[in-house]
Structure 1
C-alpha cells in the first residue's frame, strides 16, 4: 500500500491549507470556526504521523539516518504549527515558533525531495 507517497503528501498539503485557514479565521475574529478547523487539523496531524511512520518503517533501510532526521523534522513541523496556532489564539508572541516552523519545514521538505522516495529534484 505504501510504495509511494501519495497519501502522505495529500495529508500534509491538506494540513497546510487548514493551518492557513485557521490563521485567517483567527485574524478575521471568528474564534469558534478557528477552533473547529484546529480540531480537524489535529486529526490531520495524526494522519500525517501515521502515513509518515508507515513510509518510514517500510523504506528507512535506504538511508536510515536521513529518514530518521526527516521523521523528526516532520514531528517538529507539526509541533511548531500547533504552537503557532495555540499562541496566536492566546495573543502571545509567535516569532520564534514561526522561525522554527519555517526552518524545520524547509529541512524536512528538502530531505523528502532528496531521498529515494522523493522527486529527485536535488540529485
Structure 2
C-alpha cells in the first residue's frame, strides 16, 4: 500500500481534481445532462479523496493524532459542503452560506494539511 502512504501526491491530486470538478459543476447551467455527469464524476472523486486520506491518516496519525483527526474531520466537512452547495443549487435554494462554509473549511483543511509533518514546508 505504499502508493497511498509513501507520499501525499495521490491525495493532493484527487482533491485538486475534486475542487476543479466542483467549480465546473457549480458554474454549469442547472438541470443539464453535462452537469449531472460532472457531478457523478465528482462523487467518485469524493470517494477517492476519502480513501487516500484515510490511508494517510492511519499511517501517519500516531505522530500527532489530534491534529490529524481534526484535519480528517475538516476534510469530510469540506466534501459535505461541496455536495450540499451543488444539491441546494439544483433545488434553487440559497447557497451563499454553503459557499462561505465551503471556503472556510477548505482553508482550514489545507492549512492543517500543510502544517502537519507529512505536509509541505513552505517557510
Fold match (TM-score > 0.5): yes
Question: Any idea what SS the aligned residue of 2:28 has?
Answer: helix
- 2:50 aligned residue: 49
CA RMSD, Structure 1 to Structure 2 (Å): 1.1
Decide whether the 8 Å contact of 1:8 with 1:48 is kept in 2. yes
Task: Give CA deviations for 1:36-64 in whole Å, capped at 9, x if unaligned.
Answer: 00000000000000000000000001100
Task: Give CA deviations for 1:8-44 in whole Å, capped at 9, x if unaligned.
Answer: 0000001011111111212xx5621101000000000
Structure 2 portions without partners, runs of 5+: none
Instruction: Tell me whether 1:3 sits opposite 2:20 in the alignment.
Output: no
Structure 1 portions without partners, runs of 5+: none
Instruction: Tell me whether 1:13 sits opposite 2:24 in the alignment.
Output: no
Superposition pairs for residues 53-92 of structure 1, below 5 Å? 53-92=54-93
Decide whether the 8 Å contact of 1:114 with 1:121 is kept in 2. no
Cα distance in 2 for partners of 1:20, 1:103 equals 16
TM-score, scaled relative to structure 2: 0.93
Question: Any idea what SS the aligned residue of 2:17 has?
Answer: helix
Cα distance in 2 for partners of 1:17, 1:25 equals 12
